[in-house]
């Protein structure tokens, strides 16, 4: 009898945990959606800011985030996939591989602001790229590299050995096997990792704080060496700088909603295709 | 001819694979190199245990104890929020949720883990802080307590997702054996499943902690930003990450202040590195214990 009461009590507590958690997270999404919805209009999405950030749209920030995401994916995707191919296809064991694995794991845990410091010291100052889209993309690329590597590795590992053996038995070389059979099979998994990284790169603020972002530009960036506005930084700047806090808050809500929708849609998309793809495999 | 080409391709992949190692080493080298000059004028003891952080005063003082204390308390507070809620939710998803609920809850939590920290900061600043200010009748809602609460909520999906993975790795036979001995579901959960996945659960907690310590934008926006050693949980504080983010923009490249901020970055890096090494060590042991690594 006593045990039964414990069970009811225990189960109620863990049910309460999940309810509280979902309540918190849902209320964040709900409040931002409701309050941000008023700010969103076609003009908001497509025009540049006017009257020192109190009117107009946020198109340069949306475009800036787009550039930074594309830039960082272009850098991190080939590097990350190559690294995963090496770890999984060429050198499955050994001392050096363990060291690489360890450094990837630790790189994944480095605080994003520390990546920002690295980007500032190396890309902005040492390489002389200045505060620019290029520096920001490189910094963000380092940040998302570990997750692209582990997603790619997981995808490569899920490719059944029989596929490789079949290809090798037909006389294909090691590289031909990887290029023609392993990579195409692993592609959905790799793309999931990439899509998740898009969400991460779009939302990160600390790494671009000193490497790419600026509060206000009169024109759209014209080269990769220009500094740029970006959505997450724009939210921060609207809340902490400027002279008309009341008008800026409404714009910030709009930006937060755009960012939230963007990131949630992107990661939902990635997770749904990953789950589909995972359950479809026979090991 | 094929042989040469194959070797060349392998070489390219090897070189690219080592770039991640290079990046990690690069971060370490840069952090050491850029923070070392601060020790020319300040003793390391005074830097870490000094209680005054006045980088813009004349003469400036660089004591980071208030920043370390702030990071410590904010992290501790956030852990108090996110451990019970995070682990509790994981237990629910693993044990109580129907297959259909599980199918929805698990990906939902994973998707929520991707909400950018700036959104949490924004939410904390505009909604949580004024609410708590009224509730507790305190001078400002931007304080250590609010930062802990918002950070704690932010870290829940990460902890839940990792802890649920750990719980689901426990072999079904453990559960069946316990039922066969007459234990009920709760007894089985507490006495068999949780102990068996304890190391995985602790890994999830350490990784959650590592995320909280390194979190920047949320604390920058909601912690209040005054660099003093807090006397109560409702004092505004300035953790290490937000100090770097707030002050790097105004410090001249190569100045003492610039180097001091890099030194804070180095300490932050070392703290999270230690967390990650511990987490990795525990999870390796865990996999061996459950026989997953053979």
Whether B9 sits inside 8 A of A175 (CB atoms) is yes
Cis bond before residue B59 (omega within 30° of 0): yes
Q: Tell me the per-residue pLDDT of B12-47, one tens digit each, with 9 for 90 and over.
A: 888 888 877 888 889 999 999 998 888 888 888 888
**H helix and E strand count, chain A:** 12, 2
Alpha helices, DSSP H, located in chain B: 2-35, 44-49, 65-91, 99-112, 117-123, 129-136, 144-168, 172-180, 185-188, 194-196, 198-214, 217-222, 240-247, 256-289
Q: Report chain B's mean pLDDT, rounded to a whole number.
A: 88
User: Cβ(A71)–Cβ(A134) under 8 Å?
Assistant: yes
Give me the mean pLDDT over the A204-232 stretch: 84
Chain B residues within an 8 Å CB radius of A145: 20, 23
CA closest to A78 among chain B residues: B16
The verdict on residue A204 lying in a domain is yes
The verdict on residue A5 lying in a domain is no
Cα(B180)–Cα(B175) distance, rounded to whole angstroms?
A: 9
The verdict on residue A15 lying in a domain is no
Chain A residues within an 8 Å CB radius of B190: 10
A168 lies in which domain range?
42-279
The verdict on residue A25 lying in a domain is no
* Chain B interface disruption, residue of A11, A19, A25, A98, most B CBs within 10 A: A25
User: Cβ(B54)–Cβ(B128) under 8 Å?
Assistant: no
pLDDT tops 60 at residue B294: no
A235 touches chain B (CB under 8 A): yes
For residue A213, name the pLDDT band (cuts at 50, 70, 90): confident
Cα–chain center distance at A9: 40
The verdict on residue A16 lying in a domain is no
Q: What is the CATH number of the domain that holds A122?
A: 1.10.3720.10
| Chain B nearest CA to A10, separation (Å) | 7
Buried b (16+ CB within 10 A) or exposed e, B162-182: bbbbbbeebeeebbeebeeee
pLDDT tops 60 at residue B293: no
Give how many domains chain A has, as a whole number: 1
The verdict on residue A1 lying in a domain is no
Q: Tell me the per-residue pLDDT of A70-125, one tens digit each, with 9 for 90 and over.
A: 999 999 999 999 999 988 888 756 777 788 888 888 888 899 999 999 999 999 99
The verdict on residue A7 lying in a domain is no
The verdict on residue A54 lying in a domain is yes
B20 touches chain A (CB under 8 A): yes
End-to-end CA distance of chain A: 45
Whether B27 sits inside 8 A of A114 (CB atoms) is yes
pTM reported for the whole predicted model:
0.90
CA closest to A246 among chain B residues: B126
């Amino acid at each position: 009898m006593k045990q039964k009461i414990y069970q009811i009590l225990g189960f109620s507590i863990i049910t309460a945990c999940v309810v509280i958690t979902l309540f918190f997270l849902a209320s964040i999404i709900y409040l931002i959606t409701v309050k941000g919805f008023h700010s969103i209009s076609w003009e908001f999405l497509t025009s540049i800011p006017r009257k020192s950030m109190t009117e107009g749209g946020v198109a340069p920030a949306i475009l800036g985030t787009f550039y930074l995401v594309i830039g960082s994916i272009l850098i991190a995707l080939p590097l990350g996939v190559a690294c995963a191919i090496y770890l999984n296809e060429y050198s499955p064991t050994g001392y050096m591989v363990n060291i690489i694995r360890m450094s990837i794991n630790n790189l994944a845990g480095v605080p994003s602001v520390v990546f920002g410091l690295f980007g500032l010291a190396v890309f902005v100052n040492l390489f002389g790229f200045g505060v620019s889209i290029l520096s920001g993309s490189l910094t963000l690329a380092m940040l998302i590299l570990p997750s692209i590597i582990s997603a790619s590795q997981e995808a490569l590992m899920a490719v059944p050995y029989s596929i490789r053996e079949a290809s090798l038995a037909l006389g294909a070389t090691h590289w031909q096997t990887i290029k023609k059979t392993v990579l195409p099979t692993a592609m959905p998994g790799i793309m999931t990792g990439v899509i998740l990284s898009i969400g991460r790169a779009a939302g990160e603020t600390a790494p671009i704080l000193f490497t790419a972002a600026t509060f206000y530009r009169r024109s759209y960036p014209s080269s990769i060496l220009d500094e740029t506005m970006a959505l997450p930084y724009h939210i921060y700047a609207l809340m902490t700088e400027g002279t008309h806090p009341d008008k800026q808050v409404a714009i910030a809500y709009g930006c937060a909603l755009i960012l939230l929708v963007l990131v949630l849609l992107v990661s939902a998309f990635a997770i749904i295709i990953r789950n589909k793809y995972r359950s479809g495999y026979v090991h | 001819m094929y042989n040469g080409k194959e070797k060349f391709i392998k070489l390219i992949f090897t070189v690219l694979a080592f770039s991640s190692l290079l990046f990690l080493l690069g971060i370490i080298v840069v952090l050491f190199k850029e923070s070392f000059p601060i020790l020319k004028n300040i003793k390391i003891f005074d830097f870490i245990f000094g209680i005054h952080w006045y980088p813009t005063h004349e003469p400036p003082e660089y004591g980071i104890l208030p920043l370390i204390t702030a990071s410590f308390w904010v992290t501790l507070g956030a852990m108090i929020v996110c451990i019970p809620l995070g682990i509790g939710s994981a237990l629910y998803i693993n044990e109580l949720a129907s297959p259909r609920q599980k199918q929805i809850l698990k990906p939902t939590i994973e998707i929520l883990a991707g909400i950018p920290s700036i959104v949490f900061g924004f939410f904390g600043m505009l909604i949580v802080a004024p609410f708590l200010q009224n509730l507790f009748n305190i001078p400002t809602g931007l304080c250590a307590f609010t930062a802990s609460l918002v950070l704690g909520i932010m870290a829940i999906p990460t902890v839940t997702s990792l802890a649920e993975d750990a719980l689901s790795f426990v072999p079904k036979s453990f559960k069946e054996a316990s039922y066969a001995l007459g234990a009920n579901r709760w007894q089985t959960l507490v006495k068999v499943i949780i102990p068996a996945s304890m190391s995985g659960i602790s890994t999830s907690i350490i990784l959650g902690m590592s995320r909280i310590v390194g979190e920047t934008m949320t604390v920058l926006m909601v912690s209040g930003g005054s660099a003093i050693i807090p006397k109560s949980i409702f004092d505004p504080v300035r953790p290490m990450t937000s100090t770097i983010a707030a002050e790097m923009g105004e410090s001249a490249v190569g100045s003492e202040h610039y180097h001091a901020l890099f030194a804070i970055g180095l300490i932050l890096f070392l703290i999270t590195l230690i967390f990650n090494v511990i987490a990795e060590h525990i999870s390796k042991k865990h996999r061996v214990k459950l026989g997953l690594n053979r």
